Chains A and B, each alone.
Chain A
Amino acid sequence: MELGAILLLGTMYFMLYCSVFWLLVYFEKRKEIRIDPIPTRFPLISIIIPSWNAEDTIKAAIDSCLALDYPKKEIIVVNDGSTDKTKEICEGYVKKREIKLLNKTNGGKASAMNYGLNHAKGEFVCCLDSDSFFKPQALRKMVGYFEDSAVGAVTSSMKVYNPRTWIQMIQWVEYIFAIYLRRMMHFMNCLYVIPGPGSTYRRDVLLELGGFDEHSLTEDMDIAFKIQKAGYRITNSINAEVDTITPDTLRGLIKQRIRWYAGFCDNSIKYKSFFLNPKYGTLGLFVLPTSFIWVGVLFASSITLIYNALGILITATKAYFAVGFDFNLLLAKISEMLAVGPTYITWFAVIFLLVSILVIYLGLKSAGEMVNFKQKYKFYALHLVGYTILISLMWFLALSYLAVRGKSEKTWKGTKI
């Protein structure tokens, strides 16, 4: 057998293994997926909203906090040197004594979170990005997990708010898949990101760990590694729903993902002791090492796709210049190619297609979005067609960014938070 075929089969096995692993976790835990522990007490929770030039969304974010069905909460908006009307909008709420407003000079999201943390009084601290909105039951669903003293943080279940552009539609499906995967990772205790929209922390743990790293590209990943390293658990509540506004343009998405993926690489280097370390269980032995293999698979898949597409394009161009456009010749060529019939690749392609459909189905089921299954067919089609290449492109740009960044600049100053 040729080397190419061996590599291809190895990749197939790897992809199949990962897919089967998360599906088995699902089927083993399927009865617990939508169940959260029932809280016996409702301690004070401080909700910190770090904000920078958020005049378009801050009102809705604050209103969603006020509408939360939770008895004891304090809402702290940290205005991180906004130059728009964020401050004025927040002052309206301050007058009604509904929120606390802290103003500071611009320093980035992590610095705003730390500033808010120092003023928070709650036993638990919840972070809400200023472009995200709680569903009323969110805190009630999360707080029960903290009755286990080993739990350091609880992540929420994020959905894309009002997807309009094709970029947002692809992200909508991606976020649904992430809801499913995050819940599965919860069961295997291997969560390594605590997303900004709606995640809740035990305040003492945050203080013990020195708060958020203000120099990290992805402080939400850095704090997750710190919490895991300190021996605390990170859990997830699939019922704690938060809607978040995602980038609506390719440019915006590229910017966001370069930060995320470059941050992942930075943190992987910073916390390299996690890799293949049995102390960190599934996270160290399986999730982190396979994440890097997935990036390789993603690149290889995209390059193969592009290579094949270019091959077809080149052949078509050659044909055009050789004999001009001839519809009958084109039809004959297509029917010849189809006449080859199925090969073993067809088998794996069918398996992966079925797995993809199953995963999207389970994601929708887990996220309680089955009602939207038919309406969002365009989203799934876009996701199936464009996601692999899009994410590969983002990874390529992120790695390029890391390569040219050098050591002089470690953070993105003035990043919108």
Chain B
Amino acid sequence: MNIFIKTTIVTTAIFAIGIIVGLWLGQEKVSAFESELTSLRGSIENTELQFLFLDVLGSNVSCTYLLKQANNLGADSENLAKQIENYETSEKIDEAAFKQLKSSYTTLLIKDWLTMEKIKTTCNATYVTVLYFYSNNNCGRCSEQAIVLSYLKQKLGENIMTFAIDGDIGLNVVSALREAYSIDIFPTLIINSVVHKGYVDLNQTKEILCDYNNNLTIC
């Protein structure tokens, strides 16, 4: 057999295995994310329900328990956020599956944020919520903003709940939020429901956080 034909067969075989492995790895990853997403969704719904018991029926579900739940939720969603953020920048073959996953995740994240806000008000919690709007396409300082938030999260732990939302994702719920808070530039932070447009550096963020809770270790 001609060596060029042999080469084509062998190369195509190795190449095809690479593509199949790539697709399989991608599917496995997306499935793992979906599974975590389902679990997170369940936790959020459960917390929401317990919150309703407390808020509407005045049941004996304690705020301490709800806050513990809220902290766990915050940690889970942030962990998933980081995984998805890193996977987003890696090489993938099946982009469509990832986009769908990211949409589901973003919706869930907003729901999570709303639940945290409600629990905070009802239970007089001291944690600070930060809704962070970023863009992968037209944002010069989003990477720095993400670093500042990661740093503060690391320092403050459960005292700060961060929710990173891709402002360009094209979801109705995101558009509604952007309109509600007049978000036209990135990065934009909504810290305890107050809008801060543009990059907020470490010192400024510290000041804002300390205004809400002077007992934080960074104050």
Chain A interface (Cβ within 8 Å of chain B)?
Answer: 1-2, 5, 8-9, 12-13, 16-17, 20-21, 24-25, 28, 286, 315, 318-319, 321-323, 326, 328-329, 332-333, 336-337, 339-348, 351
Contact = CB atoms under 8 A, between A and B. Distances in A.
Contacts of B156: none
B217 interface: no
Contacts of A17: 7-8, 11
B25 A343 contact: yes
Nearest to A286: B4
Contacts, number: 100
Interface in B1-40: 3-4, 6-8, 10-11, 14-15, 17-19, 21-23, 25-26, 29
B82 interface: yes
**Chain B, interface residues (CB within 8 Å), range:** 35 or more
B90 interface: yes
Contact of A348 (B18, B90, B150, B154): B18
A336 B86 contact: yes
A24 B86 contact: no
13 contacts: A9-B19, A16-B11, A323-B148, A329-B147, A329-B150, A329-B151, A332-B154, A333-B150, A339-B83, A340-B86, A343-B90, A345-B22, A347-B18
B147 A5 contact: no
Contacts of B6: 24
Interface in B23-78: 23, 25-26, 29
A1 B93 contact: yes
A16 B15 contact: yes
Contacts of B91: 5, 8, 343-345
B144 interface: yes
A326 B154 CA distance: 10
B201 interface: yes
Interface string B183-204: 0000000000000000001100
Contacts of A1: 93, 95
A319 B146 CA distance: 9
A24 B10 contact: yes
B136 to A, nearest CB: 13
Nearest to A8: B91
B16 to A, nearest CB: 10
A28 B3 contact: yes
A344 B86 contact: no
A322 B86 contact: no
B11 A329 contact: no
Contacts of A351: 14, 18
B90 A340 contact: yes
Contacts of B4: 21, 286
A161 B152 CA distance: 58
A13 B17 CA distance: 12
A326 B143 CA distance: 16
A348 to B, nearest CB: 5
Contacts of B87: 340
B96 to A, nearest CB: 9
A2 B95 contact: yes
A12 B18 contact: yes
Considering residues A17, A315, A332, which has the most beta carbons from chain B within 10 angstroms of its beta carbon? A17
A315 to B, nearest CB: 6
A340 B10 contact: no
Interface string B129-145: 00000000000000110
B80 to A, nearest CB: 11
Contacts of A319: 144, 147
A17 B14 CA distance: 10
Contact of A315 (B23, B143, B201): B143
Contacts of A333: 150
A16 to B, nearest CB: 5
B15 A318 contact: no
Given A28-B3, A318-B144, A344 B202 contact: no
B22 A329 contact: no
Contacts of B92: 5, 343
8 A-B pairs with least C-beta separation: A344-B22, A323-B151, A345-B91, A21-B7, A347-B18, A17-B11, A322-B144, A319-B147
Contacts of B90: 340, 343, 345
Contacts of B19: 9, 344
A191 to B, nearest CB: 17
A8 B91 CA distance: 10
